[in-house]
A and B are shown apart, each in its own frame.
Chain A
């Protein structure tokens, strides 16, 4: 099974940078996902890491270290619309190579003016 930890809440100022950490313990690993979820809405895909290193997509970057069971999501040039929950999820390496994702509890980010 999987155990995923991420901070419950973070506050940052508009224009700043925020780093959301995610640690996981897994019996099998086949990729790590980050999703953004605004209140009352469905999660929106942000990034996917399966190999170690940094993936950059505009203002958002995601990093993975498989040996440390660690990932982070970096949000740069924060905007008010970035206020949301950010979900870290790990995909199991199951025998059938499926898509079972185990999610962390989410980190609520509040961006202040």
Chain B
């Protein structure tokens, strides 16, 4: 079946450090891939997306590239801020009308 695997957290980084959160997926065909973020006490928000192989999604300094050959969609940011502290979810969707399948989430804490 379709599934998403993420690196386990929690991840703790100092401000301005480089961030990588690994994500790999299992799916047939060519799913759309997403990163969602959940800030403390808030709902899920779409952070970025990519809909086909080699696409790069980017937003708020975060980037992720859709790698079909490694079935990966790793999230990166060059310099994290305290305000980036949140839980990050990698997710996939097979078609426009299909359900979104989420990974277990990775908690990130950024300390000053």
Mutual binders A and B: no
